[in-house]
Structure 1
């Protein structure tokens, strides 16, 4: 959520007339993140988030915004997109697609304990089931095809050891994705970016999650692996915290039990989730776009996590009796 496209409060005066929100009275750029231009927007009717999309186009965006609306209508705590007078969720602003969504209460829990992880596991399972009948289809745009296309663009910047790791892991994941067990994994729309800073809490009460702009149709297990790799680790080493992992997995499977194929795929999927973010951070670090408030994430964080997932088995999805 960097600011690539600067927007002023004066520019919004006329633009806001199409929305049932009254006049804009305050606008503040959000510095975190690296994909879109985001602003806290205060209007006469309340607090919202304005997003100007830098990479996604008018044809792609209905998937994300309609998915958020679909989930909100089914009781999942996510930001609700605001339609304009013509019923449109995506409208042009400074020549780019833009949208307004409701602002969630609370703040991110950056030092999660098992109780927080359990709430995240429950919400994620509920989200997967609620989205199962979502009619629109779009693949995970940061999946295997993207890994294979992006890897050659970053190899020149890596040490020989890291280049070998990246090449071998992409090959491993391609082979794994071609297998019969992978084809049997339950799938549907996934968040695909459910990090600590994308979930809000008030005290120990989870109030919602946001930033669905990496969502797509993928395996539910991949979404779970992305989540565990952020919520349940020691940030300095990448080592999994067993208590947090077990709390998140137990809460998830209480809502949606795991399949036998998912148990077999769990370790490779944790590696896939680490690879995805290592590669995307390498790409953003070595080929950054200009932005007013852009701070690239450190790629070595997910390199450590990937090496740790390869070296050390994670707790099972269902503990052995």
Structure 2
């Protein structure tokens, strides 16, 4: 989340009357994240988050918003998108699609313990099962096709060692994606970006997942790998913390056990999760967009994680 499209309280006062939230009292930009313009919106009837979508269009956005509603109605802790007085989840603000969702309680847990990881693992499994019958199908827009498109764009910015790593890993992932085991992996709608700053806790109680705007249909294992690569690592080295990995994956298994193919594909998928975010951070760092309150993330973080997943054993499942 960031602010690419500035909005003032005067801008929003009349616009917000289409929602049953009462008079808007305050509006504050949110600095974290890199894709959309986001604001905390305080109104007479509650606390909300306003999002203006900078890349996604009206044709794509119903997938994300209806997915959030679908899983929330099935017991997954997630924000609820608000419908306006015309029954629409999307409206136009400053010429761009926009929505209002309920604001979750609590705060992000940036230094998680195994207990926090277990909460995340169990809720992630429930999300996958709850979304399995979601009728709208939209691919993961940051999957292998996007990796192939982005690799030649960012390669010139890398030193020789980085170029060699990126080319080699792309070759490995393309081969993995053609394997029989990969094609047998269970799949469905996934969050695809379940980092610590996209989960809220009230103490040790998980209050919700949010920022579903990278969601898409992909393997469930990829979602677990992306999550583990953020929640269960040493921040300096990128190495996996076995205790947190066991807690998160064990809690996931208790709700939805891995298949044999998933267990066999665990290490390649951890590499895939690291590659995906190395690529996106390289792109955002070297080809940034203009925005207020935006600091691009360090791409070196996920390069270190990828090198770790290639070179070191991963904790057994």
TM-score band w.r.t. shorter chain? over 0.9
Conserved? CA contact 1:39–1:49, under 8 Å: yes
Deviations 1:221-246 (A, max 9, x none): 00000000000000000000000000
Structure 1 SS opposite 2:101 = strand
The corresponding residue for 2:245 is: 245
Give me the whole-angstrom Cα distance separating, in 1, the residues matched to 2:142 and 2:158.
20
For structure 2, the residue ranges without an aligned partner over 5 or more in a row are none
Q: Corresponding residue for 1:226?
A: 226
Deviations 1:106-142 (A, max 9, x none): 0011110110000000000000000000000000000
Partner of 2:170: 170
* TM-score normalised by the chain length of structure 2: 0.99
Is 1:193 the equivalent of 2:221?
A: no
What secondary structure is seen at the aligned counterpart in 2 of 1:293?
A: coil
Comparing 217-226 with 10-19, which one deviates more in the overlay? Answer: 10-19
Work out whether residues 263 and 316 of structure 1, in 8 Å CA contact, stay in contact via their aligned partners in 2: no
**Residue of structure 1 in register with 2:217 after alignment:** 217
Q: What secondary structure, in the 3-state scheme, does the structure 2 residue paired with 1:50 have?
A: strand
Deviation at 1:13, TM superposition (A): 1.6
Instruction: Give, in whole Å, the separation in 2 of the partners of 1:81 and 1:290.
Output: 27
CA–CA separation in structure 2 for the residues paired with 1:123 and 1:272: 22
Paired residues, what number? 317
Give the distance between the partners of 2:180 and 2:100, measured in 1 at CA.
42
Contact 1:3 1:38 in 2 (8 A): yes
Q: What is the DSSP-based 3-state SS (H/G/I as helix, E as strand, rest coil) of the residue aligned with 2:272?
A: helix
Alpha-carbon contact 1:91-1:99 (below 8 Å) kept? yes
Counterpart secondary structure, 2:176: helix
- Please state if 1:289 is matched with 2:289: yes
Task: Provide the rounded CA distance (Å) in 2 between the counterparts of 1:190 and 1:180.
Answer: 21
Shift of 1:143: 0.4
Instruction: Indicate the SS of the match to 2:47.
Output: strand
Give the TM-score taking structure 1 as reference length. Answer: 0.98
How far apart, CA to CA, are the structure 2 residues paired with 1:207 and 1:12? 28
**Deviation at 1:316?**
2.4
CA offsets 1:261-308 (integer angstroms, 9 cap, x no match): 001110000000000000000000000000011100000000000000
Q: Alpha-carbon deviation of 1:12? A: 1.1
Aligned-partner SS, 2:208: strand
Q: CA-atom RMSD, angstroms?
A: 0.6
SS for the counterpart of 1:92 is: strand
Conserved 8 A contact 1:186-1:220: yes
Give the structure 2 partner of residue 262 of structure 1. Answer: 262
Give the equivalent residue in structure 2 for 1:116.
116
> Partner of 1:67 in structure 2?
67
Structure 1 runs (4+) greater than 4 angstroms displaced: none
Report deviation, 1:31. 0.5
User: For residue 272 of structure 2, what is the aligned residue in structure 1?
Assistant: 272
Partner of 2:32: 32
For 1:203 and 1:294, locate their aligned partners in 2 and report how far apart those are by CA, in whole Å: 28
Question: 1:154–1:283: 8 Å Cα contact kept in structure 2?
Answer: yes
SS in 1 for 2:182: helix
Aligned to 1:44: 44
Aligned twin of 2:6: 6
Q: Does 1:130 align with 2:130?
A: yes
1:147 maps to which residue? 147
> Residue 87 of structure 1 aligns to a residue in which SS?
coil
Q: Give the structure 2 partner of residue 236 of structure 1.
A: 236
How far apart in 1 are the matches of 2:258 and 2:154? Answer: 36
User: Could you say what secondary structure the match of 2:265 adopts?
Assistant: helix
